[in-house]
């Protein structure tokens, strides 16, 4: 996160692999669907029910991503 631009014109933005991953998962999701990767699934497994979707090849990422669909909040 930080400023990008040139002298006299700056914008604040987020960039990098995490931002790209989020954007790509969002693009793959259907209306009302929440897709997450394996790290997020581990972090929320005590409060949410998820179902594995397998590995997705996402543009701009070197390796397939283990994806999960968030079905419900349990806590």
Question: Rounded CA gap, 47 and 1, in Å?
Answer: 29
Residue 22's domain spans which residues? 2-73
Average pLDDT, the chain: 91
- Which residues are CB-neighbours of 72 under 8 A, at least 6 positions away? 48, 49
The secondary structure of 19-59, three-state, reads: HHHHHHHHHHCCCCCCEEEHHHHHHHCCCEEEEEEEEECCC
Nearest 10 degrees: Cα torsion 47, 1, 21, 32: 50
Q: Residue 53 is part of a domain; what is its CATH number? A: 3.30.70.1230
Q: Give the pLDDT band of residue 12 (cuts 50, 70, 90).
A: confident
**pLDDT at site 67:** 97
Note the pTM of the prediction, 2 decimals: 0.81
Q: How many domains does the chain have?
A: 1
């Amino acid at each position: 996160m930080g400023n990008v631009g040139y002298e006299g014109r700056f914008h604040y933005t987020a960039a990098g692999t995490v931002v790209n991953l989020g954007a790509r998962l969002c693009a793959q999701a259907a209306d009302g669907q929440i897709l997450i990767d394996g790290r997020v699934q581990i972090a929320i497994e005590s409060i949410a029910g998820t179902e594995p979707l397998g590995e997705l090849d996402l543009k701009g990422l070197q390796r397939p991503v283990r994806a999960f669909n968030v079905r419900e909040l349990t806590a």
